[in-house]
C-alpha cells in the first residue's frame, strides 16, 4: 500500500496546522490556527476544504472555542454556531461541531476530553477512508479508466481520501489503467489538488477541462465515474461540487456507472431530499478572475453556486465504510440508520 508524505491537517501542541490548499500546487505552505476565528476563516476561505477535512478541522475549532469561553457556556455555544455557519452545505461541519460540543458541555469544557474527541474524529475518518477504499475497489474491473471530479483525496479528508482513496486502493491492486481528472472550475480543485495528488502517487492521469468529460463518456473511454459528496440525504440525493449533476446525466445517458464515495457521517439522515439542501453561493470574483487576473467583462452578472444536487435516480451506488448502498435508497439508508443507531 502506498504511503502519503503530507497531511491536510494536524494538531501540533496547541496549534492546528493546515496545509494551505489555496496555494497548491506551486507553493506548499502551512496555515496555523490558534483561535476559533482562525478556524472559521480557514474553512470559509477554503484553506481547508472537503467535507471530512472540514469536519476534522472543526473538531479542533471546538477546542479553541472552549478555551476562549473560559467557562462561559453561552459564549461557547455562540462560537460553535459561528463555526457551523462557515460553510452550510457540508454536513460534516455541523456533525463534527455538535459531536465535540456535546462532549465539551458534558465535561464542563474540559480541554483534555475535548481534544480526545477531536482526535477520535480524525482517526476514525482515516480508518473509514481506508475501508471505503477497500469496499470501493471491489467495483473496479482490471484495466479500468476512471473519471473523477473535484478533489476527494488526502487533501479533502483527514487522510487517504474517499473517491480518490478508492482509486488509490484500486491502483495499488493493479486494477486501474488510467485516471481522468476534471479541472473543476471555478477554483480548479481538480487541476490544483487532484492532479497534485495523482502525480505524487505515481498514478497515470490526464487533466481535462470540465466540458471534455461528456465527450470521453460518449466515446466509451470511461469505465466509471467516482466522486465524493458534501451531503447525502435520506433518499440518496447527493450534494457535491458543481458539475456533478451534469456528469451524472451524461453517465445515465450512456450507461456508465456513477458512484459517490463518502463516509456515513456525510449522510444527513434527518433531511428527506436534496430539495432541502442549502446551496452555498461563493464570491463573484472566483468566476470573473483567475489568480487575481480579470478574465470577464466588468459589470457582468455572476451566478456561482459551490455545489449542485444529483438526484438518487442518477446514482449507481453510494460507497461507504459500511458497504455499498444501492436502490431503493430511502429503504436502505433508513436500514443503515437503524443499524448505526443514529
Active-site amino acid positions:
230
**Location of C-alpha cell 479542533:** 60
* Residue 243 DSSP label: T
Q: Which among 262, 229, 231 is positioned nearest to 248, based on CA atoms?
A: 229
Q: Which class for 303: exposed (0-12), middle (13-18), buried (19 or more C-beta within 10 A)?
A: exposed
Instruction: At 29, list the grid cell.
Output: 505552505
Instruction: At 192, list the grid cell.
Output: 490544483
CA distance 146 to 170: 10
CB 114 within 8 A of CB 66: yes
CB 103 within 8 A of CB 117: yes
Cite the beta strand spans of the chain per DSSP E: 9-12, 15-19, 30-33, 144-148, 176-182, 205-208, 224-227, 231-233, 238-241, 258-261, 267-268, 289-290, 293-294, 307-310, 317-320, 323-325
Amino acid at each position: 500500500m502506498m504511503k502519503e508524505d503530507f497531511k491536510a491537517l494536524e494538531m501540533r501542541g496547541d496549534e492546528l496546522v493546515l496545509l494551505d490548499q489555496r496555494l497548491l500546487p506551486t507553493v506548499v505552505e502551512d496555515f496555523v490556527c490558534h483561535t476559533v476565528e482562525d478556524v472559521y476563516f480557514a474553512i470559509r476561505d477554503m484553506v481547508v476544504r472537503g467535507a471530512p477535512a472540514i469536519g476534522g478541522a472543526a473538531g479542533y475549532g471546538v477546542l479553541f472555542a472552549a478555551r476562549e469561553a473560559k467557562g462561559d457556556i453561552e459564549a461557547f455555544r455562540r462560537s460553535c454556531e459561528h463555526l457551523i455557519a462557515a460553510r452550510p452545505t457540508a454536513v460534516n461541519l455541523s456533525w463534527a461541531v455538535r459531536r465535540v460540543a456535546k462532549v465539551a458541555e458534558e465535561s464542563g469544557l474540559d480541554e483534555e476530553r475535548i481534544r480526545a474527541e477531536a482526535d477520535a474524529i480524525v482517526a476514525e475518518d482515516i480508518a473509514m477512508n481506508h475501508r471505503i477504499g477497500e469496499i470501493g475497489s471491489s467495483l473496479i474491473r482490471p484495466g479500468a479508466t476512471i473519471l473523477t471530479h473535484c478533489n476527494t483525496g488526502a487533501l479533502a479528508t483527514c487522510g487517504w481520501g474517499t473517491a480518490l482513496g478508492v482509486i488509490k486502493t484500486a491502483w495499488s491492486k493493479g486494477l486501474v489503467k488510467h485516471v481522468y481528472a476534471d479541472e473543476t472550475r471555478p477554483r480548479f480543485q481538480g487541476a490544483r489538488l487532484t492532479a497534485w495528488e495523482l502525480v505524487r502517487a505515481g498514478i497515470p492521469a490526464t487533466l481535462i477541462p470540465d466540458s471534455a468529460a461528456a465527450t470521453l463518456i460518449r466515446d466509451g473511454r470511461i469505465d466509471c465515474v467516482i466522486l465524493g459528496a458534501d451531503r447525502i440525504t435520506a433518499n440518496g440525493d447527493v450534494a457535491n461540487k458543481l458539475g456533478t449533476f451534469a456528469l451524472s446525466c451524461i453517465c445515465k445517458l450512456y450507461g456508465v456507472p456513477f458512484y459517490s464515495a463518502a463516509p456515513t457521517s456525510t449522510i444527513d439522515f434527518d433531511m428527506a431530499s436534496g430539495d432541502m439542501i442549502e446551496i452555498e453561493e461563493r464570491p463573484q470574483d472566483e468566476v470573473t478572475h483567475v489568480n487575481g487576473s480579470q478574465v470577464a467583462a466588468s459589470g457582468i452578472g455572476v451566478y456561482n453556486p459551490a455545489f449542485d444536487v444529483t438526484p438518487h435516480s442518477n446514482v449507481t451506488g453510494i460507497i461507504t465504510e459500511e458497504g455499498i448502498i444501492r436502490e431503493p435508497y430511502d429503504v436502505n439508508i433508513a436500514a443503515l440508520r437503524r443499524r448505526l443507531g443514529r
